[in-house]
Structure 1
Amino acid sequence: MEHFIDAAPGIRLWAEDHGAPDAPPLLLIMGALAPGLGWPDELVALLAAQHRVIRYDHRDTGRSTWAYDEQPYPLTALADDALAVLDGLGVTRAHVVGMSLGGMLTQLLIADHPDRLLSATLIGTGALSDTPYVHPDGTRTPSQELPGPDPQVMELWSQPWTDQGPEAELDRRTEHWRALAGDRLPFDADYFRALERKIIAHTGHHTPGDAHARADTSGMLRTEQLARTEVPTLVVSAPAEPVYPLPHAHHLTQTIRGARLAEIPGMAHALPPEIHKALATEILDHTAHH
């Protein structure tokens, strides 16, 4: 069922839910510049077997309000939007799954609003902590020196966007997914092209947003709060991850109190059909215990 939720003055968010209305709620938070449909229907259906699954469009994506130039905001406001979605749908507490920037927003919720979370799952993200990463041999790497995105991904992100029409934009987005999908699993270009075609139809235009890349990133660290949290947290480790490569997932488990690590074989920074069952199984096992 579709919903439109007023999150702030002049900001309306699109959301939808799947599954039994009385099932335990599970909120999906997508990454930067990505709408809720970035969570594939097939994965949502697997999760909806046990949950009321909620996905939504960040502001400046999909069918939500696009107004960054008129109403600029910090990235932390996107965590407030997640709470607004829960409030708008009458959800007091939820399991929350965040990917990439969505994983950072989930950490903000863990730190600032633990009473609203039943559990948290973090995918393809980095820790909002300045504690060093401790290697198995006991040596330490400062958090700011952990490896960054793959050069191929950085090259794609650095290219200026020009409007060459919808089909050319689909080509560009498909190649972007190819870089994010890593090299451990076969890449299905038709699958990701169809996903992006659906996203463009949902959005109503093919112009990509850049608001989240321009938003103020200050005030994100939550070192102390994450170190003492009681929110049960699952960290998904993706061995082919090109945006937050290892050891970011291990660093997360060190900085978030009680966090548990689960590796999804072949996974990178994308959600292809080959990993849906394994990922859903890990998430559902985590939520079932909390």
Structure 2
Amino acid sequence: MERLVDVAPGVRLWAEDLPATGSDPAPEPVLLVMGANASGLTWPDELVARLAERHRVIRYDHRDTGRSTWAFDERPYAIAELARDAVAVLDAFDVPRAHVVGMSLGGVLVQLMLLDAPGRVATATVFCTAALGGYGSPDLPPPSAELLALWEHMADPRDVDAELDWRVAHWRLLSGTGTPFDADGFRALERRVIAHAGRHDNTAAHARAAQDGLDRGDELAAVEVPVLVVEAPEDPINPPPHSGHLARALGRGRLVRIPGMGHAITGTVVAPLAAAILTQTTGAHAPQR
């Protein structure tokens, strides 16, 4: 079921509620929170299908992505407001509490949910992300220079074909070299994303959004919700020191590693990523030490 969710005056988010396909008569919901400037359709269908075997799955488009409202220049917002949007999506579907999964910026938003709305989060799984305030540490590296150079052209005007070429080049860098890169597959994904949005430009709104209120890393130790941090060793944005730092900072954090994974959900990591998420959401992992 698809619907539009009002989250602020003049701001609506596209959201999709996918029923569970398994035999559980009362499947628990999972909320998927995607990364910066990325539509909810970026979640691979195969991963969504695997999660739906055990859960009701909800995904959505952030502001200024997909079919949600694009109006950053008229109504700018802070990154922290996107975390409140995630809670509003749960409200819209009458979900009091969900397992929440966040990738990249989505992982930052999940951390804000853990601090500001912990009662709404049954468990959390985050990957390809950094701890709140983490970039202030000299021990935690910034994104790769090659990626930073590409980001300088994120919002450049391009026709559709040139935009697709840029996005595939972006995914190639994000994926790293630990798994085979399927350029045709990512091009097909981005064609779907563009068709879904009805536009091909990238306003880079999330890169321009204010970062007030994100320096809250010291508060993570008090989090009581179980959190799984998935380490992606080939991640060029948040390489392995970040995942370990986040897991140690959390009150109930644990760390698992998916060999070869970069800052992308490539075909070869769908199965181990789904297994890790389901192990967390079903409580099938070993007890906390």
TM-score per shorter chain, which class?
Answer: over 0.9
Structural RMSD (CA): 1.5
**Alpha-carbon contact 1:61-1:209 (below 8 Å) kept:** no
**How much does 1:109 deviate?**
0.4
Corresponding residue for residue 8 of structure 1: 8
Instruction: Look up the match of 1:43.
Output: 47
Counterpart Cα distance in 2 of 1:163 and 1:22: 47
Say whether 1:216 aligns with 2:220. Answer: no
Equivalent in 231, 242, 266 of residue 260 of structure 2: 266
Question: Displaced runs of 4+ in structure 1, greater than 4 A?
Answer: none
Q: Distance in 2 between matches of 1:257 and 1:80?
A: 22
Instruction: Check the 8 A contact 2:77/2:210 in 1, yes or no.
Output: yes
| 2: CA distance, partners of 1:110 / 1:256 | 10
TM-superposed deviation, 1:167: 1.2
Per-residue deviation, 1:146: 1.0
- Quote the Cα distance in structure 2 between the aligned partners of 1:64 and 1:160: 20
Contact conserved, 1:29 with 1:98, CA < 8 A, in 2?
yes
The aligned counterpart of 1:166 is 160
May I ask how many residue pairs the two structures share in their alignment? Answer: 280
The answer for the alignment partner of 2:245 in structure 1 is 251
CA contact (8 A) 2:155 2:204 kept: no
**2: CA distance, partners of 1:158 / 1:118:** 38
Q: Percent identity?
A: 54
1:143 to 113, 133, 137: 137
Q: 2:275 aligns with which of 273, 281, 289?
A: 281
CA deviation digits over 1:38-82, x for unaligned, max 9?
Answer: 111111111111011111000111000011111111110000100
Residue correspondence of structure 1 range 1-290 to structure 2 within 5 A: 1-20=1-20, 22-129=26-133, 143-159=137-153, 161-289=155-283
Q: How far, CA to CA, are the matches of 2:156 and 2:11 in structure 1?
A: 27
Structure 2 CA distance for aligned equivalents of residues 240 and 160 of structure 1 = 22
Question: Which whole-Å CA distance do the structure 1 matches of 2:139 and 2:272 have between them?
Answer: 31
- TM-score, normalised on structure 1? 0.93
CA–CA distance in structure 2, aligned partners of residues 102 and 254 of structure 1: 19
TM-score w.r.t. length of structure 2: 0.93
Distance across 1 between alignment mates of 2:203 and 2:156: 12
The CA deviation at 1:145 is 4.2
- Secondary structure, aligned partner of 2:164: helix
SS where residue 17 of structure 2 aligns?
strand
* Contact 2:114–2:223 (8 Å) recurs in 1: yes
**Superimposed CA distance per residue, residues 236-279 of structure 1 (whole angstroms, 9 cap, x where no aligned partner):** 00111110012000000110012010111110000111110100
SS at match of 2:78: coil
Contact 2:233 2:259 in 1 (8 A): yes
Alpha-carbon offset, residue 129 of structure 1: 4.3
The Cα shift of 1:209 comes to 2.3
Which residue does 1:138 correspond to in 2?
none
Task: Give the letter for the 1:94 counterpart.
Answer: A
Q: CA 1:11–1:144 in structure 2 vs 1: closer, same or farther (change >3 Å)?
A: farther
For 1:243 and 1:76, locate their aligned partners in 2 and report how far apart those are by CA, in whole Å: 20
Q: Deviations over 1:206-235 (max 9, x none)?
A: 111211111110111223431011100000
Q: Distance in 1 between matches of 2:217 and 2:123?
A: 19
SS of residue paired to 1:267: coil
- Paired residue for 2:287? none
Compute the displacement of 1:160 (Å): 5.8
Encode CA deviations 1:144-181: one digit per residue, 9 max, x unaligned. 54111111111110126443311111111001000000
User: Which segments of 5 or more consecutive residues in structure 1 lack a partner in the other structure?
Assistant: 133-141
Tell me if the contact between 2:232 and 2:259 (Cα under 8 Å) persists in the aligned partners. yes
